[in-house]
Amino acid sequence: MDSTNTTSAFTKNPLRIALIGYGKMGKAIEEIAVNRGHSIGLKIDINSLNDFTKENLQQCDVAIEFTSPHTAVQNILTCIEAGIPIVCGSTGWLARWEEVKQACEAFKGSLVYASNYSVGVNVFFEVNQLLARLMNPHTEYEVNMLEIHHTEKKDAPSGTAITLAEQILENLGRKKEWVNQHNATPEELSIISERIDPAPGTHKIKYSSNIDDIEIIHTAHNRQGFATGAVLAAEFIKTKKGVFSMKDVLGF
């Protein structure tokens, strides 16, 4: 059976997984992981922080962390220092990326970070880069982004929207920075964030000219895509050292 198959059981190398964060994502990951033949060795949430010890972590093969922007960095550092590979899905903490990367290198640790673990979104990232490259010479097109999530989401714009925006900035010379509002100058890339229930996540990028529009849209139907990708990342990282992205996990 192909180990990258996203739907059927993965039983060749069962993992004992530590779930750091047992909210909406932690529970969705548990279901997918168990269906793929893995077991959950540790579950940590805000009410069981006393169990979040080096000794308990070291009983597991890999940790999957989905908590919040404010708790993610300390959780990653705890896992790295305990010598356990970690898959982090919490968003909104990338201002501390360099610190985390350096700690991972110093401890010879293993980290996968993705602003979005869904296989579909990672294909969408590739399409976004290609479209921005193709649009680069065609200055008559203005571009903007809309992202819609549920009202409990704490960060805006979403981590996925930031990744998409950075890809556009890298490939479309006429945009210099993103703003989380309507753009005031042509150099700004507008990201509008809407919070509506229920909405697991929609990202729309629209290029408009007087002649025509081109839109690309990714709409998540539920959390299963994120959870499946996070489990694939855990299977990938168990035997690796270093800092990785979903691009590495999916072999793009």
- Residues at the interface with ligand NAD (CB under 6 A): 20-26, 44-46, 49, 66-69, 71, 75, 89-92, 114-117, 226
For the CB of residue 138, give the shortest distance to ligand NAD in the complex, in Å: 32
What is the nearest approach in angstroms of ligand NAD to the Cβ of residue 47?
7
Do 237 and 244 meet the contact criterion of CB atoms below 8 Å apart? yes
Whether 247 is catalytic: no
The number of angstroms, rounded, from the C-alpha of 23 to the middle of its chain's C-alpha atoms is 16
Instruction: Name the catalytic one among 38, 149, 175, 203.
Output: 149
Q: Which is nearer to ligand NAD, 34 or 214 (CB)?
A: 34
Report in angstroms how near the CB of residue 199 gets to ligand NAD at its nearest: 12
3-state class of 221 per DSSP? coil
Between 168 and 231, whose beta carbon lies closer to ligand NAD?
A: 231
Could you tell me the smallest distance in angstroms from the CB atom of residue 11 to ligand NAD? 24
**Tokens read off for 101:** 């990367």
Sorted by sequence, the CB contacts under 8 Å of residue 103 that are 6+ apart come out as 76, 77, 80, 81, 109
Q: Closer to ligand NAD by CB, 80 or 172: give it.
A: 80
CA dist 224 and 246 (Å) reads 16
Rounded to whole angstroms, the Cα distance separating 112 from 196 reads 29
Cβ closest to ligand NAD, residue 115 vs residue 135: 115
Which residues are 44's β-sheet partners? 20
Residues 6+ apart with CB under 8 A from 53: none
Catalytic residue among 24, 43, 153, 240: 153
Q: Which residue is nearest to ligand NAD (CB)?
A: 23
Q: Is 218 a catalytic residue?
A: no
Q: Which residues are catalytic?
A: 149, 153
